[in-house]
Structure 1
Amino acid sequence: MSGEENKATLLELGAVEPLTKLLTHEDKTVRRNATMIFGILTSNNDVKKLLRKLDVMNSVIAQLTPEEEVVIHEFASLCLANMSVEYTGKVQILEHGGLEPLIRLLRSPDPDVKKNSIESIYNLAQDFECRAALQELNAIPPVLDLLKSEYPIIQLLALKTLGAMTNSKKSQAMLRDNQGLDQLIKILETKDLNDLHIEALSVVANCLEDMDSMVLIQRTGALQKLLAFAESSTVPDIQKNAAKAIAKAAYYSYVCATAEAEGIQPLVNTLSSKRDGAVANAATVLTNMALQEPLREAMQSHELMQALIGPLGSANTLVQSRVALAVAATACDVEARTELRNRGGLEPLVELLHSKNNEVRRHASQAVMVCANDELTATELCKLGALDILEEINLSISLKNKFSEAAYNKLLNNNLSLKYSQTGYLSSNDIISDGFYDSGRINPGTKLLPLKELCLQEPGHRRAVLLINNKSADASLSMEDKSSDMSYGRSISSSSSLRRASKEKPKKNSSRFSTGFGWPTELKSEPTSGRNTVLSKSATKEKGPKKARGKREEEKIREEEEVLAIPKLAGEGGPEKEWYPPSDPGFCTYVYEVTKSVLPMTNIKEQIEALAKL
């Protein structure tokens, strides 16, 4: 069966599908033999393609439990190593929880199980979602342990896996904290392990992006060893990786030397120079320095964000481009974005999106993308029209770039009401909160009105606006305001409450809520409660003496005018009361009951079932 022809024959005879059912057979011997068969068969591409369609991954992963025999572990992990080569196989292994048992098997006493497991993990680590999952599962310590293996293939696969994983800051820190750098340096110092030096140098080069790892490398004198590799090695890949590590170390040293020489303040001062070339060069140096977090923090103490705002309005495209890129590099922190927003730096940044220069537009889009990482700044950018400009840019093949698309999506993700109105859907990562509202689909180029403006509109033919609000009426509102809010909040989802509210005598200040969301279809012809009350009074008064009718008609008109004038007077008089969205007591009660019932459960399946019933 080990020959390719035999595998193809079994596939043609239709033997693969019935064999998959034996993976879960009650008899351990049958199960073991079936697992061994699939461990061998999955080296054939056509077999792998069929198995992906049959979705047998869950059955294979189930064979990795500690209770199973070592031979089952060996061939089940071999099957996963073969299946994890293609992207679809990676996704299936991740979705069925295959990473955790594979990491556990790295500590198996059997070398074949270790080899197959680390090979599977290496294949999975090529996907960024799998790398993130490996970080969460703390995979680095057991992978580091494999560097001590007596089998070169296991050591090599472990180094390759570390090379893929250490592309992220978190993994670099985890490797450092687990004394991984010491092990890598020992490998580089051992001539007998020269077949591992290429991969070891690659991991070291990745780790030099971490400042603490850089300090550790400098302190141990490992940089001298890297220089020796670059000078004396005759292997091109060793020279290349050694040079890469040295370049990162040299860059770090240069940046630190610049900061230590108190070069930050002169550079910040240069941003206000009248010489465009000097401003552009200063912005470039500051951008490079901002790649190091401690230096970026030091720059903020020199009021860098304020200094960048002026050059953003320069007429020189080179200055515009370099300064916009500096904003993108330095606005990584919440404090920096807050200062940029409060100092009025967002407006000139948004203006640069109109630029006809491709580089200026690209760097401005990158800066907007970075600034849109927090909700307050994203909201302000939307107010300044950034979303509309980016939408227009992305409609043009010649104008759009990857940053303009990313910036547009970032702004939408911080304004879920707008995202839903424009796209008609939300992704699983979009978590709505209080204040989310659905006013219906809007056409491209149409602005979404704020909730307050929608509330102050007259009732029309449009359907009701749906609002999510789990907050109770604010304590600062008067009792009249609260009762008005509550009756209005119910009107969004209940037509019966609307009818009841229309029969009640309104408070004077309730008219601002009664003209809020569009009414449901069956009620859109009904008048507001305030107007309805006035008309009913008029109808009653018509039964009185005719000679009093003229006077009462005048009173009716005056009363009607007073009711209609209340929204205007609220804006014309003293300080306007803070506006609050209408509360929904019924929804608040529902959320409380759901939380009370579901949260105490510890089993996710039970939580889902309970939530579905509610």
Structure 2
Amino acid sequence: RSRNGLYEPLLQENEREAVADLLQFLENRTETNFFEGDPLRALSTLAFSDNVDLQRSAALAFAEITEKDVKAVDRDTLEPVLFLLQSHDVEVQRAASAALGNLAVNTDNKLLIVKLGGLEPLIRQMLSPNVEVQCNAVGCITNLATHDENKTKIAKSGALVPLTRLARSKDMRVQRNATGALLNMTHSDENRQQLVNAGAIPVLVSLLSSPDTDVQYYCTTALSNIAVDSANRKKLAQTEPKLVNALIGLMDSTSLKVQCQAALALRNLASDERYQLEIVRSRGLTPLLRLLQSTFLPLILSSVACIRNISIHPLNESPIIDAGFLDPLIDLLAYEENEEIQCHAISTLRNLAASSERNKKAIVEAGAVERVCSLVLNVPLSVQSEMTACVAVLALSDDLKPRLLQLGALYVLIPLTDSQSVEVQGNSAAAIGNLSSKIQSYQPFIS
């Protein structure tokens, strides 16, 4: 008997049995675990068949099952799905990538999918002309990219160029998945560099004007992360002249998370002098002031961190004061729920006092010293350090020294020279030294 005579009918019989078994298992799906034993054998038989209709049935069954039941699975479950992913049939591709995307929600599965070579067929599917296939493949890569161990592998796999291209898709689901995946790739220096090399910056900037708030959020956050690196800020400054205006516009978004990320992106850009000036020139202070006066902690934190960086530039000191920032900044000194907000607020006041007598006087007249004196002995060390540094700067003004002494600055500074923090000790001693320099009467220091 010929080999074919034995083999072919057996395989077809096998497939017939698998179809019958699968139908029975699907009828009792609530009690069936499809990821092991006979149910998995039936699915695998259909998946590895040469018959496209049977492959479709297997792929659709995998997609349907994994939509409702996601758990850590082993190689025996993933291999038939990955095999189906390499089919030339669009329906099989679509359902298999949907199943894989569902399984990729589980942390263990994320690692195993990449380990078993899942990236290569997913990249091929991203290049498919079929939007559904694109959407599922990108969605799966987005899920895989949330695991830190996968990020570098994805960055080096060749996925970033097609992801960047699909971020411009006319289909909003594809665009959303692609920008989400790009965002997931911005959490390490090396991957950010790969992303920049793949041409992602102009795409991310252009999508800041997307009508979809999720896309706006992903792109704003990705650009914020990219702007952490000084080389990238330089590149952004050279190639993206509309970036600052776009981010300032997003601080007026209807979405709180977009507003928040826009302020954080501006904060990171404002690590550089050119951006510190550009944000003020582009009328960024008004929306920042509004966010600063919000009742929502993340908005307050992102805006006060941004204004702190902007206030570093001497040319920005007066515009910030004239825009009405002093009172809200002084109010934030007492924001006990968040030490970081207190630190940013007092550090901004110190920056604003740095280079002008007029500004020092405005800060004192706004009540900053009274607020510092009432708070400084009971705030965390990091805030104490910033507060004493601010008083030391204000105490450089000969005209203001009598006023600072009158407000009781000395009474809080003296005990702080005995602080457990060397910084607080040093700043307090410097402030006392500045207060005592060129003063007409030393009475306050000896009484």
TM-score bucket of the superposed structures, by smaller chain: 0.5 to 0.7
Q: 1:11 to 1:225 in 2, by over 3 A?
A: closer
Structural mapping, 1:77-226, within 5 Å: 77-94=220-237, 95-97=239-241, 98-192=243-337, 195-209=340-354, 210-226=356-372
**Are the equivalent residues in 1 in contact too, given 2:292–2:300 (CA < 8 A)?**
yes
Deviation of 1:253 (Å): 3.1
Name the CA distance, whole Å, in 2 between partners of 1:170 and 1:133.
Answer: 11
Shift of the 244–29 alpha-carbon distance from structure 1 to 2, 3 Å rule, reads same
Given the superposition, is the C-alpha separation of residues 96 and 174 from structure 1 closer, same or farther in structure 2, using an over 3 Å criterion? same
Q: Distance in 2 between matches of 1:220 and 1:233?
A: 22
Please tell me the residue identity of whatever aligns with 2:365: R
Residue deviations 1:163-212 (CA, integer Å, cap 9, x gap): 11112233211211121001111222454555522221111111223433
Distance in 1 (CA, whole Å) between partners of 2:367 and 2:257 is: 37
Return the structure number with greater relative CO, CA threshold 8 A, min gap 6.
2
Deviations 1:356-406 (A, max 9, x none): xxxxxxxxxxxxxxxxxxxxxxxxxxxxxxxxxxxxxxxxxxxxxxxxxxx
Distance 1:112 1:126 in 2: 22
Partner letter of residue 28 of structure 1? M
Find the counterpart in structure 1 of residue 187 from structure 2. Answer: 43
Q: Give CA deviations for 1:446-491 in whole Å, capped at 9, x if unaligned.
A: xxxxxxxxxxxxxxxxxxxxxxxxxxxxxxxxxxxxxxxxxxxxxx
Contact preservation (8 Å) 2:168, 2:175:
yes
Residue 84 of structure 1: how far off its partner (Å): 0.9
Q: Which residue of 2 aligns with 1:238?
A: 383
**Structure 2 letter corresponding to 1:212:** R
Aligned residues: 256
The 5-angstrom pairing of residues 547-566 of structure 1 reads: none
CA distance in 1, matches of 2:324, 2:148: 44
- C-alpha deviation, 1:110, in angstroms: 1.3
Aligned-pair identity (%): 20
Contact 1:74 1:116 in 2 (8 A): yes
Distance 2:168 2:271 in 1: 30
Alignment match of 1:3 (pick from 135, 140, 147): 147
Q: C-alpha deviations, 1:546-590, integer Å up to 9, x for none?
A: xxxxxxxxxxxxxxxxxxxxxxxxxxxxxxxxxxxxxxxxxxxxx
Following superposition of structure 1 onto structure 2, how do residues 76-475 of structure 1 map, counting pairs within 5 Å?
A: 76-94=219-237, 95-97=239-241, 98-192=243-337, 195-209=340-354, 210-230=356-376, 232-254=377-399
Aligned-residue offset at 1:219: 2.6
CA–CA distance in 1 between the matches of 2:309 and 2:342?
16
In the alignment, which residue of structure 2 is the partner of 1:54?
198
For residues 244 and 50 of structure 1, what CA distance do their matches in structure 2 show? 41
1:234 positional shift:
4.7
TM-score normalized with structure 1 length: 0.39
Question: Distance in 2 between the 1:169 and 1:11 partners?
Answer: 41
For the pair shown, the structure with the greater C-alpha radius of gyration is 1
1:149 Cα deviation from its structure 2 partner: 2.9
User: TM-score, structure 2 length as denominator?
Assistant: 0.53
**How far did residue 162 of structure 1 move?**
1.2
Distance (whole Å) between structure 2 residues aligned to residue 83 and residue 189 of structure 1: 33
**Which runs of 5 or more residues in structure 1 are unaligned?**
258-287, 289-614
CA–CA separation in structure 2 for the residues paired with 1:91 and 1:7: 25
| Other-structure match for 1:72 | 215
| Structure 1 residues 147 and 9: alpha-carbon distance in aligned structure 2, compared to 1, 3 A threshold | same
Partners of 2:341 and 2:390 in 1: how far apart? 16
Seen in structure 2, the aligned counterparts of structure 1 residues 190 and 39 have a Cα distance that, compared at 3 Å, is closer
- Is the 8 Å Cα contact of residues 349 and 363 (structure 2) preserved in structure 1? no
Which deviations, in whole Å up to 9, do the C-alpha atoms of 1:116-162 show, x marking residues without a partner?
21221111111112212222212222122211233323322222221
Secondary structure (helix, strand or coil) at the match of 1:251 reads coil
* SS of corresponding position for 1:25: coil
Task: State the alpha-carbon separation in 1 of the partners of residues 158 and 340 from structure 2.
Answer: 44
**RMSD (CA atoms):** 2.4
Question: Which residue identity is paired with 1:37?
Answer: A
